[in-house]
Chains A and B, each alone.
Chain A
Amino acid sequence: MNSSTTNRGFSRRQALSALGGGFGLLGLSGVLAGSTAGPRGPHFPPKAKHVIYLFLNGGPSHVDTFDPKPMLTKYHGKPAPSGNLKTERKTGTLLASPFPFRKCGQSGIEISEIFTELGKHIDDICVIRSMHTERPNHEPSLLMLNSGHVLPGHPSMGAWLNYGLGTENQNLPGFVVLCPGLPVIGPQLWTSAYLPATYQGTHIPNNETEPEKLIQYLRNKQISLPEQRRQLDLLEKLNRIHLRQEGDDPQLESRIESMETAYRMQTEAFEAFDINKEPKAVRDLYGDGPFARGCLLARRLVERGVRMVQIYYGNGQPWDNHDDILIHKKLALTSDQPMAALLGDLKRTGLLKETLVIIGGEFGRTPAVEVSGLVKFQNGRDHNNHGFSVLLAGGGIKGGMTYGNTDEFGFQAVEKPVHPHDIHATALHCLGIDHTRLTYRYSGRDFRLTDVFGNVIHDVLA
């Protein structure tokens, strides 16, 4: 799947023969120079076709959510026998989780009570409890989880997936990012960087509720659709005359097609983003608020063939609870139900089989209390890159299991450690891609989402 950096001079016949397909199968615009959005196909038969990545930005605490540590209760208020690991700020004695954990589902995996609804789906979920990453700071960790590098300037996973597989629906962007406002660092997290711009994430501010505010230039309030149709008919006529005079040029032809797609997109995307089209019962299932709307939108988009939808929980870094871990409970109030509803809805519609769902943040939090506030009470936790949890579910994933472990207090991944590179490798594997072969040659070097690292975690595959 190498791509040369120049598209010019690529003939229609070449393009088609390279893909082994015909017009009818692929649609000309999908494969020709300039428009590279058409499906290219995986390396091997995929289990999943789509990814929904629910990003709880800020660093949700694993020991208060998906990684129970009874030892914290036992040693609450006492120094950790093994000492604290170095994180961003100073931490003190161990802090028990204020939330009880309960066994869930047939598998009996323990989940914190703040995620009671999500816990009901545990038998479809694989809890990876041995995540670790490089830095205890938001920016590099956000970049790592999204683009496999700690520095900005590399394509995000959604961009890679669209580059590798194309989108199934020309009428919608292939990589949609929903966030009310912006997470820390912002658009760098969904950039296509050196991949063609067509693969970049389309950011939708889902605090907006009107569909036309969601996509740039989606609607024309001055020109009616029939009038626009007339415009397009004329445009095509003029473009065809031009094309005839200029001789066959796939670039020009591709733009003619692209224009038609854009026309259809107006209706289709508008419809896709209009959650009022959902029955009230379904909307109630998800609840209200941007994150809930995001989850529902994610289902609608995946249903329509969008390759990857990523939803950030909120503006800034809501899960960054340095002072008070009890705030996690408030955050869960507006995320537990929507996440559970999404999994249930995907399952009900059969989409879960072909959709990989990833839930997690950029790192976890320390089992020890943070002590760096001046006169704040000390009930929060610092960033912890040494150990945290990520949840996988759906297409290609074995549910009802845990994988790996942190130490007895939850400081550090000790058993079967998993790096974000491994998550990326595994996610790509579920989508039928060998992560070592999804490369893009830029400035003379082959780049990968997983850089030179990453192992598929075969134990979690269904």
Chain B
Amino acid sequence: MRLLGLLGTLALASIVQAQRTDSIEFFETKVRPVLAKNCFSCHTQAKLGGLEMISRDALLKGGKSGPAINIERPEESLLLKAVRQTDDKLKMPPGGKLPYAEIESILAWIRRGAVWPAASKAQEGYHITAEQRAWWAFQPVRKTEPPEVGDRAWAQTPVDRFLLAAMEKRGLKPVAQASRHDWIRRVTYDLTGLPPKPEDVDAFLRDRSKEYKARVVERLLASPQYGERWGRFWLDVARYSDDQLNSTQDEPYDNAFRYRDWVIQAFNDDMPYDVFVKAQIAGDRLPGREKMIAGLGFYALSPQFQDDRVDVTGKAFLGLTVACATCHDHKFDPIPTKDYYAMLGVFTNTTLGEYPLAGEDVVRNYKAKKAAVDEEQQKLDKFLDEQAKELSEILAYRTADYIRAARGVINEKTGLKEAAAAAKLDAGTLERWRDYLSMPSHEHSFLKDWKDGGKFDDKAFQKTLLDVLAEWKDVENKNYIRLGGSNARNDLAGADLLSLPREKWLLWRDIFSAQRFGKFDTGILYYKGAAIDRFLAGEWKWRLDNLRAELERRKKEAPERYPYYHIVEDKPQIRNERIHIRGSADNLGEEAPRAFLSILCDGPPKAFTQGSGRLELAEAIANPKNPLTARVMANRVWYELFGAGIVRTLSNFGQLGEKPSHPELLDFLAARLVEHGWSLKALIRELTLTSAYGLSYGSDPKNFTEDPDNRLLWRANRRRLDIEALRDSLLAASGELDGKLGGPPVSLTSEGNKRRTVYGFVSRRKLDGTLSLFDFPNPNSTSELRTPTATPLQQLYFLNSKFLMDRAAALSALLSRQPGNAERIKQAYRLLFYREPGKAELEAGLAFLQSNDKSWPLYAQVLLSSNEFVYY
């Protein structure tokens, strides 16, 4: 008996448990979505009516009208009454009645005890599995000894030993080394984005010292062009642009370029990469803040359309697609939704700001003067609008006279001036009436008898017009009261407004409106701006002149806007984000304290405490212990130099990214990066002086069969010049390149623009045609690499663009100093290709040029379009 009783209790317990699980399921599928869609926008954070629908307890507590649910008598729950809309005073939701089935679900849910789990199932009990933790990219960076190799002579550097060992394992042999001339061209493009100067090539070819390569590398790394090249690489990642993606018009950011210049300078200064990262996340909190704060442009210039700040943080610095966890736990990587909102909280607690590059007094003075101008402008506008309205009404009282005169002008071809003088009318106004009445059709019907001269009653029309004006004023006044004395756009949404009937409104618009319609700038009796001057006299005129003079005076006094950096700042009040269940802002789950990603923390993530937490985030990312930061950057550097990453998905080191072709090598490089104080120049130096970097493009059938993708790097990857290098090379070849550093962006379509392409205007709204033609990334989101193409549309650029033809003309002018075609051709080959032309090349050139003198620019254009020029 007792045993039976115990079993009974157990059974009951498990039934209760099962019921609870069912109830949760029921709530999550049938009730929470309904509440989220219809109630949460007003009854969670906003707590309208004091009701906060965030938990069972909160509903039991209820709002101003009392508890929202009644578990004992579910039918009597206020919530139910509200959605059933049986009570006159309490009808919810305001947009309309819920479908019957949804109301019944709410009732059924209350009957079952209104079970409301603290968090949705997605967030419950997330834990990172051992398998997820074991993913290669989350392991600490381990610097291993470079392996032993057979060919010690080839593999003199540690990097080469890693590479060669992998090749030898598969029975591959690297191809021969590139010629000196290929090598210097390659390294000069890679480090500066420019072709080498012929004299540099000559010096290099003559250099018999052991350090002949190192000398070139040092020279290039020390040149400011290095930063222009490598800064641009980072700007792809940073989705840098000089404007915002505005829906309908251009919206340039005049100071954005200061971030671009800061990036370039940081590369040239070899700013340690960890500092570079920290400056972009929390430059305002770093020592030496003046030099760091411009880095905040990384976030301050974010696309406004979408909040991509978590996305770009994850991909750019960590190679993780954190934003995949916006709506659900990451399906592949160990990133729970909570981690996404924990990081998002860091950014939502910041605001956009400016960091003036001028003294406080300058800023204060500018703002005061600007305000003074705005104030005076408003006064003037108001005065003009008042006078124009008043005048339009005065003129409307003479409508019948104007119409009569206009009829004469139109029908009997009376001169306009004479007709106006005869009837003592304003000639300009008569002209407007004439034009208006002569329109083939009007959108309202008040003038439908006009063409039928006999029937049209001028006086009656005048009365209609004045009545419509009176009615318009009445509606305007009433609406103004309904809007509570303000016509700000936000107040419009909720107001219940009156309006004129359509016909009357159109008549009012045609005659009195200040807005453009059809071919008229304004309603025909509304005199805008200076057009009104001739009607004003005496004190009115004096006042107008006075207003204008004052405005001019203030404008003259107002200084130009001071320069500033776009920055982000912490908000004064810090508030954690809450999880958006399934990504819906209407469906909030538990709070996600601001913190770093769980997978990258020792133990549970520690909540950030300093302001938004940006500095703590920056320190967690730019940390030698972070297994990703150094690896991701070392891999980016590798990609820029070798044309393919060790991990080819440069911004995704997660499960869906590609695994490294040489994991130990990547770790070795990451470790080296940290060891050398995060110096990118040191890493680049080390890589460019390897045998692998010096390989030729040669082919090898055996290698090819074994490794067609060249993952083992048995030869060099040939690359097409990207648009920056291409355009810069064209300018350099013709001796026209303007080497000026930094400063405001210049449109690439402006003809005189001979500056490096990195200084061209980059637009999120309308990317420059040439940039987008040549695979420049879309600056609305972070880009990991460019996919080079060779399309016919691109070739049209070589055939027909003015830019190319101008360069060809300049190049041929440059060559014309040489005597004779043969010498000129030779000089051209020296300038462009650092070699003598072959016999066939020379002959082909001579034959081409023989036909006539005008052929030189055409010939130069061919050389500038050749594969030898475009690939490296």
Contacts and interface: CB of A to CB of B under 8 A. Distances in A.
Interface string A139-160: 1000000000001110000000
Interface stretch (B414-422, B597-605, B664-672, B764-772): B764-772
A83 B96 contact: yes
Given A83-B96, A184-B248, A255 B870 contact: yes
B462 to A, nearest CB: 22
B625 interface: no
A153 B780 contact: yes
Contacts of A223: 800, 805, 858
29 contacts: A7-B787, A35-B789, A83-B97, A90-B492, A152-B303, A184-B248, A191-B778, A193-B781, A194-B787, A196-B775, A197-B774, A197-B789, A197-B791, A218-B800, A220-B800, A234-B845, A234-B848, A234-B859, A238-B868, A241-B838, A242-B867, A242-B868, A261-B795, A262-B792, A265-B792, A266-B800, A372-B493, A372-B497, A444-B321
Interface string A113-124: 000000000000
A215 B801 CA distance: 12
Given A35-B789, A153-B780, A242-B866, A258 B795 contact: yes
Interface residue tally on B, bucketed by range: 35 or more
A90 B306 CA distance: 25
Contacts of A171: 792
Contact of A5 (B500, B698, B785): B785
B708 A11 contact: yes
Interface stretch (B69-77, B359-367, B471-479, B814-822): B471-479
Given A139-B305, A152-B305, A238-B841, 14 more contacts: A8-B643, A9-B708, A185-B245, A187-B767, A191-B778, A197-B775, A198-B791, A202-B793, A219-B800, A231-B861, A252-B718, A252-B871, A262-B793, A444-B657
B6 interface: no
Nearest to B843: A237
Nearest to B644: A6
B95 A84 contact: yes
Contacts of B867: 239, 242-243, 252, 255-256
Contacts of A377: 499-502, 504-506
B780 A188 contact: yes
Contact of A186 (B472, B643, B765): B765
A262 B804 CA distance: 15
A375 B791 contact: no
Nearest to A222: B805
A374 B479 contact: yes
Contact of B497 (A14, A251, A374): A374
Interface string B220-231: 000000000000
B796 interface: yes
A106 interface: no
A7 B790 CA distance: 11
Contacts of B248: 184, 316
Interface-central residue, B476, B501, B718, B774, by most chain A CB under 10 Å: B718
A89 B490 CA distance: 10
Interface in A46-93: 80, 82-86, 89-90, 92
B interface: dominant SS: loop
Contact of B245 (A152, A222, A228, A230): A152
Interface stretch (B275-283, B645-653, B686-694): B645-653
B17 interface: no
Most chain A CB within a 10 A radius of its CB, from B479, B717, B765, B800: B800
Contacts of A248: 699
Contacts of A254: 790
B648 A251 contact: no
Interface in B677-713: 697-699, 704, 708-710
B697 A246 contact: yes
A373 B793 contact: no
Contacts of B866: 235, 238-239, 242
Contacts of B790: 34-35, 251, 254-255, 258
A262 to B, nearest CB: 3
B52 interface: no
Given A6-B644, A197-B774, A243-B867, A37 B710 contact: no
Chain A contact residues, majority secondary structure: loop
A279 interface: no
A6 B861 contact: no
A198 B789 contact: yes
Contacts of B845: 234
Contact of A247 (B697, B841, B851): B697
Interface in B472-511: 472, 475-476, 479, 483, 487, 492-497, 499-502, 504-506
Nearest to B803: A217
Given A34-B788, A197-B789, A241-B838, A217 B858 contact: no
Given A90-B492, A256-B867, A374 B795 contact: no
B355 interface: no
A376 interface: yes
Interface string B603-616: 00000000000000
B501 A374 contact: no
A34 B720 contact: yes
A259 B858 contact: no
A370 B612 CA distance: 41
A345 interface: no
B138 interface: no
A337 interface: no
Nearest to A315: B248
Interface string B840-870: 1100110010010000001101110111101
A324 interface: yes
Contacts of B129: none
A263 interface: yes
B386 interface: no
B844 A237 contact: yes
A188 B501 CA distance: 40
Nearest to A150: B306
Contacts of B844: 234, 237-238
Contacts of A82: 96-97
A40 B769 CA distance: 27
Contacts of A219: 800
A196 B791 CA distance: 10
B16 interface: no
Nearest to B649: A444
B573 interface: no
A363 to B, nearest CB: 15
A9 B697 contact: no
B862 A258 contact: no
B495 to A, nearest CB: 7
A23 interface: no
A371 interface: yes
Interface in B267-287: none
B791 A37 contact: yes
Contacts of B863: 238
A215 B798 CA distance: 14
Contacts of A151: 305-306
Nearest to B790: A34
B239 to A, nearest CB: 9
A462 B793 CA distance: 37
B709 A9 contact: yes
Contacts of A194: 787
A16 B587 CA distance: 52
Contact of B789 (A9, A14, A34): A34
B523 interface: no
Nearest to A220: B800
Contacts of B718: 8, 246, 249, 251-252
Contacts of A444: 321, 649, 652, 654-658
Given A186-B766, A374-B492, A258 B794 contact: yes
Specify which of B321, B709, B862 lies most central, judged by the most chain A CB atoms within 10 Å of its CB: B862
B247 interface: yes
Interface string B378-419: 000000000000000000000000000000000000000000
A223 B801 CA distance: 11
